[in-house]
Amino acid sequence: MRIALLTEGGYPYARGEGGAWCDRLVRGLPGHEFEVYALSRSERTEAGGRVELPSQVRRVRSERLWGAPPEDDATRGRAARRARRHRFLHHYRELAAALAGGDEGSAAGCADDVIGMAGAGADGYGGARADRFASGLYGLAELAREEGGLPGLLRSEHALRALEDACRAPGVRPLLATVGVADLLTAAELLERALRPLSAPWYEPDELGAADLCHAVSGGPATLPGLLAKRFFGTPLLVTEYGVRLREALLAHRAAGLSAEVRALLTAFHRLLAGESYREAALITPGSTHARRWQERCGADRSRLRTVYPGMEAARFARAGEAAEAAGADAPAGHTDPTLTWVGRPDPAKDLIALLHAFDAIRKAEPGARLRILHVRGGVDSYLAGCRTLAAQLFPDEAQDAVTVGESPVTFEEIGSPGAPQLADAYASGDVVVLSSIVEGFPLSLVEAMFCGRATVSTDVGAVREVIGGTGLVVPPRNPKALADACLALLREPERAARLGAAARERALELFTVERCVGAFREIYLELVAHCPVRREPLLDTDGVPRPFSEPAEAHVPGRLTPVLPAPTWARRPQPAGFPFPGGDLA
């Protein structure tokens, strides 16, 4: 089977967990051929180079969503350019009108509704508006396929005027009616980058047309090649979301400081694109019930949703987990320096400020307690520096006597340092693992702590409660007092912490292993291709001759086929009296 893997900002460039699960999936299915169609988000991502790819990855095609757009073809005549521009504006006006939408309140309110998942079924993103968006989107895609790329047209003055006309049309949101030129320029530029996959040279019979299945491993622009492959070639589309791309885009727009008008247009684009990809996907596989709820709110059909948890390598944490089980076999006794650990990438969403204030209360109740903040590279340096400053103010260096060098009960260490050479060592270095986030999708750090057999205290955000089950303590976010009380409860009851850690390890081995994830996708691939209609156009070789065995021999029959078989010969012959019942005859 030939699988087209559609990625954005991840595999085969990213080395974090976002790309690692794709690599584990590909390596776990050596019987299939993979072709990776990657959308690059930044120059920094490409500069890091690709990960080492297994032999089943036949080729990698990439397209940039950053930097200057590709130059337009200048060899067309004036009449051809005019006709092309006229056709482009027809479809772009449809797209822009769908983004501007009707009078649904302010843009900020609309964005808050999407983030808070309010207004399901009545948010104005369905019906005629969704149809108009799809009409404009596929019209632009067909134009790009037939007459060349669109980046030049999407950034042209004509596109800017069309976007302005759509924002000032009667009945649009009041906020958009007063949008300025600077905001229109910003919105047009960001829309052009998001729509670059429409101009990619991938929509040919020997490219995406040769794939048996398109698997988009995230939402957003990564689904665009899959949508077009389905429209042009009938290729089934599978959409997997472990983090909800729509939610990530909205948070990124806020963090970038975009104006409310620009956020309104981009929110509409990502919301309508999500709805279109959910409608066209043969199957959608959210990574958690949390992500599943978002997808249902955006129009996903519940009958085509199937939760598949991300698979992680349990072997990396086996040593720490087995050591925790061995320690838990004996009755653990309290010690003089109970230790909390926090592991992750430092950024404002992790709310280390609340954790430090919670630890201040913990130290007053347990003077010997310690906190180790073990961070990986790639976080926000300014935020980490602010946390160090706060820790120095709350916990000045302490010494036991007049001749001992003082030290702080809070330490900041980078994973890979002598104190934590490996990730498993970071989790094993403390008694309780803490997660203090205010925003979280699928909490991978909690799964890793569970593999290590550690008890956890977490804030109730994202899919935390679903992942933890009953194997850890969950408290409200932005509540240092509740966080401190839960941590103290486990630090003072080491036997309870050991029981919770053992239960957490068993839960992780049952639900979150690579083998379980790969097995689920192996069955999904076979199921989707088995129900896919036979392609009508055979694949041709370089001489124009149909390739042998390029089409399956099976025919697609809707519904379940119930064969009617003739009765066996022995049942049609007269039988002696009394066989099988007195006076019976099966003839």
Higher pLDDT, 432 or 408: 432
- Report pLDDT digits (tens) over 392-416: 999 987 666 666 666 889 999 999 8
d(CA 304, CA 508): 26
- The residue whose two tokens read 């925003």 is 439
Q: What's the confidence (pLDDT) of residue 117?
A: 41
Nearest to 12 by CA among 42, 44, 56, 45: 45
- Report pLDDT digits (tens) over 80-108: 888 999 999 999 999 999 999 854 433 33
Nearest to 298 by CA among 321, 277, 320, 326: 277
d(CA 429, CA 415): 12
What's the average model confidence in pLDDT over 344-367? Answer: 94
What's the average model confidence in pLDDT over 160-173? Answer: 91
Task: Give residue 270's Cα distance to chain centre.
Answer: 14
Q: Is 371 exposed, middle or buried (0-12, 13-18, 19+ CB in 10 A)?
A: buried
- Residue 283 — φ and ψ, nearest 5°? -155, 145
d(CA 571, CA 583): 15
- The vertex-217 CA angle with 195 and 140, nearest 5°, equals 20
Q: Is 337 exposed, middle or buried (0-12, 13-18, 19+ CB in 10 A)?
A: exposed
Q: Which domains does the chain have, with CATH numbers?
A: 314-398+405-512 (3.40.50.2000)
- The percentage of residues in the chain with a pLDDT greater than 70, rounded to a whole number, is 83
- Sheet containing 213-216: order of strands: 57-64, 33-40, 2-8, 213-216, 237-241, 283-286
- Lowest mean pLDDT across 165-169, 243-247, 262-266, 382-386: 243-247
Residues 6+ apart with CB under 8 A from 340: 359, 362, 369, 370, 371, 372, 430, 431, 432, 433, 434, 487, 491
Residue 349: pLDDT over 70? yes
- Orientation angle between helical segments 128-147 and 78-100, nearest 10 degrees: 160
**Helix/strand/coil (H/E/C) assignment for every residue in 30-76:** CCCEEEEEEEECCHHHHHCCCCCCCCCEEEEEEEECCCCCCCCCCCC
Size of the chain, expressed as the number of residues it contains: 587
What's the average model confidence in pLDDT over 126-155? Answer: 92
How high does pLDDT run on average in the chain?
Answer: 85
What's the average model confidence in pLDDT over 292-307? Answer: 92
- Report pLDDT digits (tens) over 470-512: 999 999 999 999 999 999 999 999 999 999 999 999 999 999 9
Residue 231: pLDDT over 90? yes
Q: Is the pTM of this model over 0.85?
A: no
What's the average model confidence in pLDDT over 351-376? Answer: 94
Give the pLDDT band of residue 538 (cuts 50, 70, 90): low
What's the average model confidence in pLDDT over 575-581? Answer: 54
Q: What's the confidence (pLDDT) of residue 439?
A: 87
Nearest to 473 by CA among 444, 503, 509: 503
- Lowest mean pLDDT across 62-71, 177-186, 225-234, 292-301: 62-71
DSSP 68-105: SPPPPP--S-HHHHHHHHHHHHHHHHHHHHHHH-S--S
- The residue whose two tokens read 């949508």 is 227
